[in-house]
Amino acid sequence: MSNTVATYEECQHCGSTRRMMGELLEKEIAGSITPDAIAHCRQEIFVNMDPMCPPIAGGRIKAARVFKDICLGCGRERIVRIDYGLAQLGLRPGEPAKFI
């Protein structure tokens, strides 16, 4: 179960509140997605693993998930929301972790 750590309404670079996917979802597909959906262009999962003692394949470790969107004020990628929770590691080498 994830917990929201931070939500950013304004761009960290220019202060604009306009976002590309935020506005697109609002105009184009409003009503066809759940209200708790997060409009974003990309998400990344960050895990903190000790390289000297890696967890086993398929294991769960603490992780952060960062949702990003494009600012329409300055054109830079910016953070929209950060969640904290668990990630399940892949079973095969190179398989990405999944945020759960």
pLDDT at 1 over 60: no
User: Over the stretch 36-83, which tens digit does the pLDDT of each residue have?
Assistant: 778 888 999 988 877 787 778 888 889 999 999 999 999 999 999 999
* Contact by Cβ (8 Å): 64, 84: yes
Nearest to 80 by CA among 35, 39, 34, 24: 39
Chain-centroid distance of CA 82 in Å reads 6
Tokens 């999962």 -> residue: 45
* Contact by Cβ (8 Å): 36, 62: no
**pLDDT on residue 35:** 65
Residue 80 neighbours by CB distance under 10 Å: 22
Average pLDDT, the chain: 86
